[in-house]
């Protein structure tokens, strides 16, 4: 077998040195010490519809603008009541009973009308802006918001401290050389097994950047595989529905149980671009999200006190349903915050209303900048003290979503 450096190493376009020793793996390392919680960012890609996920089901404007796809407030398959915000009753989508259970247990908080307020409605443009931590009117940085946060922390980061449960690192980690992309922990290994691993290690005994990265990658793979072997056999399903999100969350749960110093995990969940047949498509997606998060929360019962999950999406959907019984690209979205130190069982934010004069370009307005939610989580649950370096254009304005000490936080006076 012929195996050269060219076949096992390559340079990433970002300028950092990466090793590619298993299909879909791109990884670079920097040595650095653990923070507080394990922060899990779950990105719902392609515009998850907040007016379907958390519906103002009895609102007259909502009813008239979504005559065939709306969530119902009563009757068969009605939404799941979660209380009021500024006198308006809200209902979780009926397919999200697991989320309702987490909400009732005070572990899940809802932030409505959250996101970025801007004219742009391109998936990829909005995802890029959100992951870089700016809006369209601000200077575009060369690194992601997670990168700026991790670099601002004191101490050193663990070798396996930052992981993306996917084949590539997200743009929020752009510029951070200590992140690892692991699509599936059980298959995080060298193609060809130990024989190829030994060859690669023998070829990279020097001190160049390529050689060091290859060796560090092999060490990381060995650590994960050893950790998997040492885990007690667990054949419990926990209620996972199966599919891509199940694979990511089960892999993440295994990595957490290994106690490898995990600090940050990023997960993508696509499939939210429901331009047509929304009832069937959204129902299935919402059920997958709810059941997967519910199962994950059961599996990590010993880690809940040190875990915070934040969901985000680039924008919501158009207020009025389209002719294909779907919704097109809109504005205001939503966020979920799940954790052992979350002040859950409550809807946060300001409800803008759905009357014609209350809409933004005809759609739900954004009243809570998503960076405000993330900033509070970083400050109170992840040791951030320099939010002025993470989100320099907005002040620190905690909403009380999570508990924690933010007394030393810089970068804006509390509102």
pLDDT digits (tens, 9 = 90+) for 69-88: 999 999 999 999 999 999 99
Q: In the chain, helix, strand, coil percent, each to 5?
A: 35, 15, 50
Report residue 181: phi and psi, to 5°: -100, 115
377 torsion bin: left (phi>0), alpha (psi -120 to 50), beta (else): alpha
How far, rounded to the nearest angstrom, does the alpha carbon of residue 104 sit from its chain's CA centroid? Answer: 22
Q: Answer whether residue 5 shows pLDDT above 60.
A: no
**Is 12 inside any structural domain?**
yes
Mean local confidence (pLDDT), 89-114: 98
Q: Answer whether residue 28 shows pLDDT above 50.
A: no
What residues have CB less than 8 Å from 389, skipping those under 6 apart? Answer: 148, 151, 152, 411
Number of Cβ within a 10 Å radius of residue 84 = 12
- Predicted confidence at residue 411, as pLDDT, reads 59
User: Which residue bears the tokens 């009753």?
Assistant: 89
**Is 30 inside any structural domain?**
yes
Instruction: Identify the residue with better confidence: 233 or 397.
Output: 397
Beta strand pairing call for 88-92 and 162-164:
unpaired
**Is 262 inside any structural domain?**
yes
Q: Answer whether residue 156 shows pLDDT above 80.
A: yes
Q: In the chain, pLDDT over 90 holds for what percent of residues?
A: 73
Quote the domain boundaries for residue 78: 5-382
pLDDT tens-digit series, residues 233-284: 888 999 999 999 999 999 999 999 998 899 999 999 999 999 999 999 999 9
Cα gap 228→204, rounded to integer Å: 26
Supply the mean pLDDT for the chain: 88
Q: What is the CATH number of the domain that holds 253?
A: 3.40.720
Cα gap 266→250, rounded to integer Å: 13
Q: Answer whether residue 8 shows pLDDT above 60.
A: no
**Is 412 inside any structural domain?**
no
* 8 A C-beta contact, residue 273 and residue 320: no
Residue in 362, 386, 368, 391 with CA at minimum distance from that of residue 112 = 368
* 8 A C-beta contact, residue 160 and residue 262: yes
Cα gap 83→62, rounded to integer Å: 17
**Is 158 inside any structural domain?**
yes
User: Which residue bears the tokens 């050689």?
Assistant: 211
**Is 407 inside any structural domain?**
no
pLDDT tens-digit series, residues 47-74: 999 999 999 999 999 999 999 999 999 9
Instruction: Identify the residue with better confidence: 362 or 4.
Output: 362
pTM exceeding 0.95: no
Number of domains within the chain: 1
């Amino acid at each position: 077998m012929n195996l050269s450096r060219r076949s096992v190493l390559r340079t990433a376009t970002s300028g950092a040195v990466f090793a590619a020793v298993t299909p879909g793996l791109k990884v670079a390392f920097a040595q650095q010490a653990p923070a507080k919680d394990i922060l899990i960012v779950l990105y719902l890609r392609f515009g998850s519809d907040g007016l379907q996920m958390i519906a103002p089901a009895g609102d007259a404007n909502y009813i008239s603008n979504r005559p065939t796809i709306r969530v119902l407030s009563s009757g068969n398959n009605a939404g799941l009541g979660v209380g009021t915000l500024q006198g308006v009753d809200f209902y979780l989508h009926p397919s999200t009973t697991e989320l309702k259970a987490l909400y009732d247990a005070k572990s899940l908080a809802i932030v409505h009308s959250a996101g970025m307020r801007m004219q742009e409605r391109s998936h990829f443009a909005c995802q890029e802006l959100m992951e870089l931590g700016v809006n369209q009117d601000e200077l575009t940085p060369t690194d992601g918001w997670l990168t700026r946060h991790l670099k601002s922390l004191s101490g050193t980061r663990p070798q396996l401290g930052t992981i993306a449960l996917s084949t590539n690192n997200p743009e929020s980690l752009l510029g951070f050389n200590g992140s690892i992309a692991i699509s599936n922990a059980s298959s995080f290994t060298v193609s060809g097994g130990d024989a190829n691993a030994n060859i690669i290690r023998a070829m990279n005994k020097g001190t160049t950047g390529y050689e060091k990265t290859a060796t560090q990658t092999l060490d990381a793979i060995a650590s994960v595989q050893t950790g998997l072997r040492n885990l007690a056999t667990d054949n419990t399903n926990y209620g996972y529905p199966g599919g891509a999100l199940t694979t990511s969350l089960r892999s993440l749960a295994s990595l957490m149980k290994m106690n490898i110093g995990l600090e940050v995990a990023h997960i993508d969940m696509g499939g939210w671009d429901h331009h047509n047949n929304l009832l069937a498509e959204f129902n299935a997606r919402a059920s997958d999200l709810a059941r997967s998060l519910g199962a994950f929360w059961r599996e990590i019962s010993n880690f809940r006190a040190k875990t915070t999950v934040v969901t985000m999406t680039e924008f919501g959907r158009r207020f009025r349903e389209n002719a294909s019984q779907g919704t097109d690209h809109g504005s205001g979205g939503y966020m979920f915050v799940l954790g052992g130190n979350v002040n859950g069982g409550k809807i946060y934010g300001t409800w803008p209303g759905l009357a014609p004069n209350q809409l933004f370009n005809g759609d739900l307005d954004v009243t809570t900048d998503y960076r405000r939610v993330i900033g509070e989580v970083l400050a109170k649950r992840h040791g951030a003290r320099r939010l002025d370096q993470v989100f320099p254009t907005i002040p620190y304005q905690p909403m009380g979503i999570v508990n924690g000490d933010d007394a030393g936080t810089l970068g804006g006076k509390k509102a």
